[in-house]
A and B are shown apart, each in its own frame.
Chain A
Amino acid sequence: MNDLAIELTGICKKYRYFSLDKISLKLPQGEIMGLIGANGAGKSTTIRILMGLIHQDDGEARVLGYPMPAEQVAAKRDIGFASEDMRLYDSMTLGWHTSFIQSIYPNWDAAYAQVLLKRFGLRADQKIKGLSHGQRVKSTLLLVLARKPKLLVLDEPTTGLDPVARHEILRELANVMADEGRSILFSSHNTQDVEQISDRITFIDRGRIIDSMDKELYLDRWRRLRLEVPSGVHLPALPGVIDVRQQGRLAVATANAFVPGLANAYETSGARVQCIENMTLEEIFVANVEHSREEVEA
């Protein structure tokens, strides 16, 4: 049993209007991976394949060492899955759901479940249909968290939640980190949360993985350089710079493979580097997607 929580190799899946193209990613045990992509990019499909809910056309999927979907029953004993389109039974109470889950999973932590009930502001005797959207999401997550699964797979766990609820969820995900043997894969549109809590980041766009790597290394590769370009100076095309926008005397260069020598190269060409800025994950996301789409079209 290797210590990769998730290992996807060359996963392909073809639909009529969309296909996943050779998706490969690795999540080592004990780490958190954030999966980012535009709507329809293939995040949910990839997640469903690794959960064994969809059978891939080609490629290998191993989750907690189990090949999927062949051994999904064994794998799902140790995986906690929650997706944005998942619903609980409206006519039943949260308490009924916890008993139901408890009857299936032996390592349900009842004490922790109580703590979460309080922390999330939920009541066991309330019927699901009477809950607000945020409370429903928190209920689903409670059912998954209290089992303390080895791997958490969450498809947009905080979408549609108010800031307080989002913060509560993030705290609980952080608590999972305390155990080195547990891992998390989550997809989210909330780039701030992904940036803060992920050890690894995977970018997916139009069915392809654009980037998948260590978050700090990744953030370090991206910079925005603000340049002052005197008249008569032509900005050179430099390796590692994927976009340059110039208006009059001012230009902004976006680099996805920044090295200090880049600034020098600009200065040598006659431009003046006003400042070199870090980019937030959101800015990287947009720049990355735009760039990769241009590349595909070219």
Chain B
Amino acid sequence: MAEPLTLSQSDKRPMYLQIMEQVKQRIAVGDWKEGQPVPSIRQLAVDTAVSVITVKRAYLELEREGIIVTQPGRGSHVSTTPGLGARLREQELQQHLENAMRVAAQLGIRPKEMERRLREAGDRVAERETV
């Protein structure tokens, strides 16, 4: 498999988090389906030129979050929990919303004001989509 993930050395976050995020994204958009086998730890390490230990850590964390399942001797595959993709997309949204609220707090914008801003943003997005 040619480079399945795109990792950046200049990204401030640790490599294992980048790997986790990319795996979740693949599942969220439906590229990797539920139950589909994922590359072995060593294979992914070789393909992305990342140390085995980092990939191992990413896989362990993903397993802890119930996103992938590893069977000894049989490799790993995407979890077959129904609605995994939707759940991951939901998680992403939560993350974005929390980040937005954090920035708003730093700027001193209050939640009531944020509600208005959110509606405006929604309108702008809808406009762009119709044009």
Contacts and interface: CB of A to CB of B under 8 A. Distances in A.
A, B bound: yes
Interface of A: 30-32, 170-171, 173-175, 177-178, 180, 192, 195-199, 214-216, 219, 277-278, 280
B42 A177 contact: yes
Nearest to A220: B14
B42 A180 contact: yes
Nearest to B58: A216
B118 to A, nearest CB: 25
B80 to A, nearest CB: 28
Contacts of A196: 7, 9, 15, 49-51, 54
A291 B101 CA distance: 38
Interface string B77-105: 00000000000000000000000000000
B45 interface: yes
B53 interface: yes
B16 interface: yes
A216 B49 contact: no
Interface residues of B, number: 20
B49 A192 contact: no
B13 interface: yes
B46 A178 contact: yes
A197 B42 contact: no
Contacts of B15: 195-196
B52 interface: yes
Nearest to A280: B12
Contact of A174 (B14, B16, B49): B49
A277 to B, nearest CB: 8
Contact of A215 (B13, B42, B54): B54
17 contacts: A174-B45, A174-B48, A174-B50, A175-B46, A177-B45, A177-B46, A177-B52, A178-B42, A195-B15, A196-B49, A196-B50, A197-B51, A199-B53, A215-B51, A216-B57, A277-B12, A278-B12
Nearest to B13: A278
A32 B51 contact: yes
A282 to B, nearest CB: 11
Given A192-B9, A196-B9, A278-B12, A216 B42 contact: no
Interface in B24-56: 42-43, 45-54
Contacts of A178: 42-43, 46
Given A177-B42, A192-B9, A171 B51 contact: no
Contacts of A214: 53
Interface-centre pick from A180, A197, A277 (highest chain B CB count, 10 A): A197
A199 to B, nearest CB: 4
Nearest to A32: B51
A278 B53 CA distance: 18
Contacts of B54: 196, 215-216
Contacts of B52: 30-32, 177, 199
Given A195-B15, A216-B54, 18 more contacts: A31-B52, A173-B49, A174-B46, A174-B48, A174-B49, A174-B50, A177-B51, A178-B43, A192-B9, A196-B7, A196-B15, A196-B54, A197-B49, A197-B50, A214-B53, A215-B54, A216-B53, A216-B57
A210 to B, nearest CB: 20
Contact of A198 (B9, B42, B43, B51): B51
